[in-house]
A and B are shown apart, each in its own frame.
Chain A
Amino acid sequence: MADESSYASIADASKPNAGRIYDFVLGGSHNFEVDRQAAQQVLQQAPFLPKLARLIRWFLGEAVRRLVADGYTHFIDFASGLPTIDHIHQVSPAGTKVLYSDIDPVTVAYGQEILKDNRDARYVICNAGKPENLLGATVVSQLFGNNRRVAIGFNGIAFFLSDDDIGHAMKVLYDWTDTGSRLFLCDSGFESTSVSPTLQETFNIYEKLGQPMSFRSLNTLKQLIRPWKVREPGFLPLEEWIGMKAVVAEETQKADGVAFQGAILER
């Protein structure tokens, strides 16, 4: 659940908010001048950020399309953001059950507003690092019944969680799901110590906004996701998942050569 401070902050238009800055970076309109000014600071240090944000979101669309093609009809999504165009319930066929969640209460309020006429989708508040809060909720049994063969979205959130939180979340989700369930996620794939001072400055800005970031190597991430198994083709840069390798190559070089990695896991 979001704590009181985040709740107060997101509803406070006088101070920049990490969630609304992210929205601006993605090209959204759910932000204020104070957020845009702060975003400009971030973009000076990390001009590739808008592209990275889009790659992360597009990876979600890609993974969902593949999972739908494989017959998955029940989705749980963490750190969902706004469920506007190209989110799970729009990509998947009618009747697919989707449970969205986010730690930000205002985003949840948006989401509930958008989904209010959709019988098969719900939006609830939940900290992705503590999925047990969601899995134990009544809404899960209401929407999923006893079905535990599900597809789980854990996209674009790992770098906002500590190693312990990721390890915990993966274990809880593994224990709750049935064999054959899948989970897609992406993460930085590099450690924060390996980035340039310029990029480091970006992390510092986010930390000041109350949204510290945790970067880890791919090997560390692979340890944390156990006992989930990585499906073929394994961890790939996000642009490769969506067929944009050529377009992104030049940008990747500009961004210290860092590339986010995504994968689909299986229980």
Chain B
Amino acid sequence: MSKSAHLLRQKEKKLADALDSNLRETAFENRYSLHPRRLVELGQELGKFFLQFIENDATADPFGLGQKLAREGLGENTILLLGTQFRRFIGGELDRDPESLAATLDAADAFTKALLAGFMKAREAQILTDQEQLRRALSTALESKSQELLVKNHAINTSINGIILADLDGKMTWLNSSFLQMWGYASANEALGVHIGDIWVGEKARGIVQLLPRTGGWRGELVARRKDGSEFSVELSASLVRNEEGGAIGLMSSVVDITERKRLQAQILQVQKMDALGELAGGIAHDFNNLLTAISGYLQLLLLNAPRDTKMYQDLMQIKAAVDRGTGLTQQLRFFTRQASGTRLNISLNEVTRETYEIFHRTFPPEIAVELALSPSLWTVEADPNQMSQVLVNLCVNARDAMMQRNNRIAGGTLTIETTNVELSEEQAGRYLNARPGRYIVLRVRDTGIGMPPELLEKLFIPFVTTKGERSGTGLGLAVVYGIVASHRGFIDVHSTVGKGSTFEIFLPVTDRRVEGQQEQVVVPTLARGRGKILVVDDELQVREVICRVLQACGYAVISATNGRDALSRFSQGGDFDLVILDMVMPDMGGRECLARLLMADADIKVMVVTGFTVDDSALELLKEGALEILEKPFDLKILTEKVQKLLGGGSAC
């Protein structure tokens, strides 16, 4: 070790302190990663290292030290300041020995030069590494962004909504595949450049486009026009596309095809309307039934006593025919209101169709061809075969009339009756208001007649709506079809095009049970006589009287009551009745409550219920509650007397 080096080594602490002071002064010149607490150690390490170099220690590598300091985060200015500090330190300590001073300063300069070179090389590498790191991270971010954009682009392109981008002039610049499908374009090129106002019906859309810059957005329903000119309803959301500065750069529209939604809304309205009409018609039918019951009853009494060869008997038979027609009419109304009861059997609709076809097809003019296309493996349904036959007859008669009405002459055509199995998915069932997913059989009646305009389709099933003129129809045919199908938990789909014909599709839910044989018709005996004391309870005077008179004529002792409370009063007076005939709907106290109280008073009392409504589940409940028999109004007196005779036992025919 030289003398000067030895001298400097003795001042190592002084050099470390000076360096520490320098490092602290320039602390903010360093990279943020170099914590000030490190500066104290760094000053000591630097001083030691510098002195080793001055002492010609071969292990002292200022170039490597410079690289290390760069990695530590020392700034360039700090390095230069350190070089100055080394010179200042040497100058201060060796100022009395000019020869040693010059040589040591040269050594210090060499040290600083190598230190700086190492530092700069490391900094360059550091900057390159940082930039490479930045490039890699940005590349990763851009790749992620690109993937994200790809997903978004795919999402927009495959959206079930039609998406339209247009420039501010309204010319379409981008379209997704749903748009092309909705509007019937084979490719985007066919529609690009077309003005957005040209794909709608009317001028409303153009107005919306013009107003968008002011309104910023619009949402509502429009009628769209496909490439082939057909129209469909959509819900449109239109808005301005803005750049980052908020300036408008285009238009964006999102379109939802609401044809199905509107169809379902129309179905809901239709069902609500039909339900309201059903209630109204049901009430009328009930009251009308009571009237017919009274008229029919008195008429039958008159007929029993009238000599058959008299004019009066003939006149009474005319009245009877009119009453029977009235009864038929109320029966049809009850079909519509779903009040008509029936026998539900597991049947194949093919059999019903064939039988019905045999009856009616001969009545069709030769200009009308009737074709049957029945599925050989048709599933069974639980249905009333007579009502199903009624449905088929009504539809076929309408179809026949639709093919005969051109210019008041027989035009002819083809009537096709098809049956087929279908299984409705959740989505398919969703197209119909009352449909549930599952298996159905479809009865399809298709004609090639005059067809129906949309406004007629809307009121097709409303009672007494007819296009056949006053003499030709009652206007109840399709109303009856509607009621019967609805009471079978089915639904109807109708398609019609004016001039081309109509198709009615009846969907009926399938049952898994096997086809049952037809029930045998019960032969009704003539007016049945008997003995016993009967209490007749009905609020309708005429109904009450006719029942009383018939029963009295058949040998029974009869007492009447006007409502449930009156009946209980007479019952409690010790009437010792064998049978009570009880109406259901009465003021003050109805039949159900009266039945319960009668049974409380006498658990063995026999009760037969008569009702102007259908014998449905709630009526059948009365049997469980103790009634022995239920009879629907208007009833045939023969059936009434037979049931009474059956309940009271014995007797003979009148």
A residues in contact (CB < 8 Å) with B = 4, 7-8, 10-11, 13, 26-31, 50-51, 53-54, 57-58, 61-62, 65, 84-86, 105-107, 109-110, 113-114, 242-244, 247
Contacts and interface: CB of A to CB of B under 8 A. Distances in A.
24 contacts: A7-B148, A11-B142, A11-B145, A28-B32, A28-B130, A29-B126, A29-B130, A51-B28, A54-B32, A57-B32, A58-B32, A61-B35, A61-B37, A62-B37, A85-B71, A85-B72, A86-B34, A86-B35, A107-B137, A110-B137, A242-B35, A244-B24, A244-B27, A247-B28
> Which 3 A-B pairs rank lowest in CB-CB distance, beginning with the nearest?
A29-B130, A85-B33, A11-B141
Interface in B27-80: 27-28, 30-38, 71-73, 75
Given A62-B37, A85-B71, A110-B133, 12 more contacts: A7-B145, A30-B134, A50-B28, A54-B32, A61-B37, A62-B35, A85-B33, A85-B34, A85-B73, A86-B33, A109-B141, A242-B37
A84 B36 contact: no
Contacts, number: 86
Contact of B134 (A29, A54, A62, A114): A29
B37 A243 contact: yes
Given A85-B72, A242-B35, A243-B36, A54 B28 contact: yes
Q: How large is the interface on B (under 10, 10 to 19, 20 to 34, 35 or more residues)?
A: 20 to 34
Given A7-B141, A62-B37, A27 B75 contact: yes
A106 B127 contact: no
A39 B282 CA distance: 85
B136 interface: yes
Contacts of A61: 35, 37
Contacts of A26: 31-32
Contact of B35 (A13, A50, A58): A58
A27 B144 CA distance: 28
Contacts of B137: 106-107, 109-110, 113
Given A50-B28, A247-B27, A84 B142 contact: no
Contacts of B25: 247
Contacts of A62: 35, 37
B138 interface: yes
A130 to B, nearest CB: 21
Contact of A8 (B73, B130, B145): B145
Contacts of B148: 4, 7
A39 B130 CA distance: 19
B131 interface: yes
B394 to A, nearest CB: 62
B32 A10 contact: no
A30 B131 CA distance: 6
Contacts of B153: none
A229 B91 CA distance: 55
A243 B133 CA distance: 33
B385 to A, nearest CB: 65
Contacts of B140: 106, 109
A13 B144 CA distance: 16
A105 B140 CA distance: 10
B34 A105 contact: no
Nearest to B142: A11
Nearest to A251: B28
Contact of A10 (B30, B38, B131, B141): B141
B141 A113 contact: no
B138 A106 contact: yes
A247 B25 CA distance: 7
A107 B137 CA distance: 8
Contact of A106 (B30, B73, B131, B141): B141
Interface in B158-202: none
Contacts of B33: 57, 84-86
B127 A29 contact: yes
A240 to B, nearest CB: 12
A54 B32 CA distance: 5
Given A29-B127, A84-B33, A105 B28 contact: no
A10 B133 CA distance: 14
